Chain A
Amino acid sequence: MDQHQNPQPAVEHIVVHETGGNDHAHHRREGFITKYIFSQDHKTIAKQFLITGIIWAVIGALFSVVFRLQLAYPGEAMPFLQLIFGNWAKGGLIQSEAYYWLVTLHGTIMIFFVLTAGLSGTFANLLIPLQVGARDMASPFMNMLSYWFFFLASVVMMVSMFIETGPASGGWTNYPPLSALRQASLGSKAGMDLWLASLALFVVSQLLGGLNYIATILNMRTKGMSMIRLPLPIWALFFTAILGVLSFPVLLAGFILLLLDRNAGTSFYLSDIYVAGQILPNEGGSPILYQHLFWFLGHPEVYIVILPAMGIVSEVLSINARKPIFGYIAMVGSLFAIAILSFLVWAHHMFVTGLNPFLGSVFVLLTLLIAIPSAIKVFNWLTTIWRGNIRFTPAMLFAIGFVSTFISGGLTGIWLGNSTIDIHVHDTYFVVAHFHLVMGVSAFFGMFAGVYHWYPKMFGHHLNNTLGYIHFWVTFIGGYLIIWPMHYMGLAGVPRRYADFTIWTSFNHFVDLQRMITIVTIVVFAVSLLFVFNFFYSIFKGRKVRSRNPWNAASLEWTTPIQPGHGNWEGDIPEVHRWAYDYGKDGRDFIPQTEPVKAEETKH
């Protein structure tokens, strides 16, 4: 069926029931400030997260373009860079300190501000109340605070870019002793304190949000919405929130100790250090402790990024294949297994730190176990679309693209999960290729799928489809063209984290490849700007949504008005009678969750 047609609003099937929740909220009159700035409406907060995330994504991607220019054309002056970056690009040449902070902020921005806040923050806020059938979050005030802590974190990070000594430059992990000693580099001075302060605020934001998501999912579901009837994005966001609530505090503890080492003279991470002819008095600390604390969050963070994308993709694939999701219970089970395992594998990032080999082998085993639930999900996605009546909307293309990049990136994860391989390629472009494909490109594809799919619900307009198709194909092909060659470079031993490696004659023949990657990066960046244009243009000028349920989807959010107010449903919240994936059942295209089950219906 053409996606623009929507002959059959699901609202006629709605059976309402009276329920609690924050039903006072939708009656309150709101001014501009309370409606758009300090809003407590989960949908507005979702938009705030998304728009802030998009702004950060443009900045983060721009930084990658700039440092890619350095890698592709080392030593070649580009005067326009000096116009933008001043002394950081003196004479049009990216200075090595600038290269390092560009890389550091690219990683920090993309992982935390875009793929955590922008992805999880957006879709958790948008979907949880709408799909579980609640007026709003358990605590709309905490929800608002969650965004504003994120905003504050953004401001602090932004400020760090404009101070004289520049922002943090120790990589997105900012390992000590580099990050703990002010004298170690320019990026270890005030910029590092601001980086730590920014991320501490960010952690607070995530905790406030995460606690709210959990409480809302467990406690605010509408009548009939048992856990087993929850749509998969909600399950994914539920496990994501649990991961965040249990792992972000550990990172915060690590950051506090680092701040104390930097500012209070403690030695949690420092011992036996000799810098510029001076022996430092610090004794008894261990920089490895920081790595443990960092990766205890750092690895679950991978899943904090990818689980929401998995949930979104499951939903989009099922709706656009017009088929029930294959193996719902297995999908939930594998989300659970991934969530549990993600807490038990952090040390696979530390195989080269001198980790006890026996301990390493335990972490290898646990890491490889993650392949099982991941593979279950992949097979279920493929089986869901197998012989489906597929609608190739931009959202569907991005969802299929996600499956592709997740398989490609996931396979190299099995390589790197083996310490015997990881030790050899750990500091090479192979690792860069792996994580960019599996948690960069894949997570972005999941996010794009979600944006294209739920844009009509967010703004009451459609995104432009033609621009959407251009966006998908250029990003999909470009993504592979950028990432795939990095695997070969990594296997050839090209080291990561270097601003210029032309000094090694053995790597000189990769310069052309670096240039190709950089050119494609610029093209993909340009097309991403096209998406940003499409996003903002369509808010005002996009084709208007004419029906409540433009995708003929079965889940609850499409029973709300086209532009729902605060409180979501005009009357009482609908009651739920079935799961969210009744597509192509008993000769019907779809059956909404609100329609009671008939005695003669077939069972799945």
Chain B
Amino acid sequence: MSLIQKTVRQLDAAQKKKTASELLLIFGMAAMFMLFLPLIVKLAKASPQGETIPAEFGLSTMLLLANTWLFSKARKLRQRDMPLALGKVLLLMLLGSAAFSVLQYFGWSKIFHGSLFGQMRIMAILVMYHGLHLLAGMIALAGIWIKIRRLRSGADCYIHFLQPSRAIFFRLTATYWDFLAFLWVLIYVISLVRYL
């Protein structure tokens, strides 16, 4: 078998794997959405009795949107092979998502421990669900950051992402973060419509 044939075969294999991973994530996100859907419908049908949404959720939503913007920057930096800036942006994202989680926890506590629990329990469950999914996203992000921070030059970065599994993982994590942001914004907007 010639070198060209071998290379074509390897690329073919990588291409298939990439698409399979993407499919796994796409259908996985569909399954996750179905997990949230009944609760979102329940939230949309909730009967407000004077409750208000904890202010922390507003702040956390802004943080999450900022994180989404940061990930779009990270994608560009990765394409331009700028590992130092990329590492900083990913670290910022990690800190941002940690801050998001803290704010979410405070908001959740207000619902859980306050008298609101009776009426807004569905919101508390959704925050909890979303938090668990966010944790998975943070672990993936931390995994990328740990590997990125060792890279120094553009060439390092180029070589690092030449391995298809790394490039795919980066892309899948970005997609997953977009999904998480979409999910939370949907929940937050519906809760605003119901409770404001």
Interface residues of A in 3-57 (CB under 8 A from B): 18-21, 23
B185 adjacent to chain A (CB < 8 Å): no
A212 adjacent to chain B (CB < 8 Å): yes
A contact residues around B38 at 8 Å (CB): 250, 253-254, 292-293, 296
- CB-based contact A246/B31 at 8 Å: yes
A contact residues around B37 at 8 Å (CB): 250, 253
Contact check: which of A20, A207, A250 meets B14 at CB < 8 Å?
Answer: A20
A390 adjacent to chain B (CB < 8 Å): no
A165 adjacent to chain B (CB < 8 Å): no
- CB-based contact B125/A215 at 8 Å: no
- CB-based contact B24/A20 at 8 Å: no
A contact residues around B32 at 8 Å (CB): 249
Q: Chain A residue with minimal CB distance to B16?
A: A20
Contact check: which of A211, A215, A218, A293 meets B31 at CB < 8 Å?
Answer: A211
B17 adjacent to chain A (CB < 8 Å): yes
A384 adjacent to chain B (CB < 8 Å): no
- CB-based contact B20/A215 at 8 Å: yes
- CB-based contact A245/B35 at 8 Å: no
A-contact 0/1 string along B24-45, CB 8 Å cutoff: 1001101110111111001000
- CB-based contact A219/B20 at 8 Å: yes
Q: Chain A residue with minimal CB distance to B5?
A: A18
B contact residues around A253 at 8 Å (CB): 35-39
Contact check: which of A18, A211, A289, A293 meets B27 at CB < 8 Å?
Answer: A211
A104 adjacent to chain B (CB < 8 Å): no
Q: Main SS of chain A's interface residues?
A: helix
A contact residues around B9 at 8 Å (CB): 18-20
A289/B42 contact (C-beta < 8 A), A245-B30, A250-B37, A253-B35 known: yes
Interface residues of B in 103-126 (CB under 8 A from A): 117-119, 121-122, 125
B-contact 0/1 string along A210-227, CB 8 Å cutoff: 111011101110000000
A220/B27 contact (C-beta < 8 A), A18-B9, A253-B35, A253-B38 known: no
A22 to chain B, nearest CB (A): 8
B23 adjacent to chain A (CB < 8 Å): yes
B13 adjacent to chain A (CB < 8 Å): yes
Q: How many residues of B contact A (CB 8 A)?
A: 32
Contact check: which of B17, B23, B27, B42 meets A20 at CB < 8 Å?
Answer: B17
Counting chain A CB atoms within 10 Å of each CB, which of B5, B14, B27 scores highest?
B27
A514 adjacent to chain B (CB < 8 Å): no
B contact residues around A207 at 8 Å (CB): 28, 31
- CB-based contact A211/B13 at 8 Å: no
Contact check: which of A212, A250, A257 meets B34 at CB < 8 Å?
Answer: A250
A20/B39 contact (C-beta < 8 A), A216-B20, A218-B23, A219-B19 known: no
B contact residues around A250 at 8 Å (CB): 34-35, 37-38
- CB-based contact B121/A245 at 8 Å: no
B-contact 0/1 string along A230-266, CB 8 Å cutoff: 0000000000000001111110111011001000001
B42 to chain A, nearest CB (A): 7
Q: Chain A residue with minimal CB distance to B33?
A: A249
B94 to chain A, nearest CB (A): 26
- CB-based contact B27/A215 at 8 Å: yes
A246/B34 contact (C-beta < 8 A), A21-B13, A283-B118 known: yes
Q: Chain A residue with minimal CB distance to B119?
A: A284
- CB-based contact A138/B23 at 8 Å: yes
A contact residues around B19 at 8 Å (CB): 219
- CB-based contact A214/B27 at 8 Å: yes
- In angstroms, Cα B20 to Cα A115, docked, is 27
Interface residues of A in 539-598 (CB under 8 A from B): none
B52 adjacent to chain A (CB < 8 Å): no
- CB-based contact A211/B24 at 8 Å: yes
Binding site for A on B (CB under 8 A): 5, 9-10, 12-17, 19-21, 23-24, 27-28, 30-32, 34-39, 42, 117-119, 121-122, 125
Pull 5 A–B residue pairs with CB atoms less than 8 Å apart, ordered by A.
Answer: A20-B9, A247-B34, A250-B38, A266-B121, A289-B42
Extra contacts besides A18-B12, A211-B24 (8): CB < 8 Å: A20-B10, A20-B12, A20-B16, A138-B23, A207-B28, A220-B20, A246-B34, A289-B42
- The 9 lowest CB-CB distance pairs between A and B, nearest first, are A20-B13, A249-B35, A138-B20, A249-B34, A215-B23, A219-B20, A215-B20, A20-B12, A20-B16
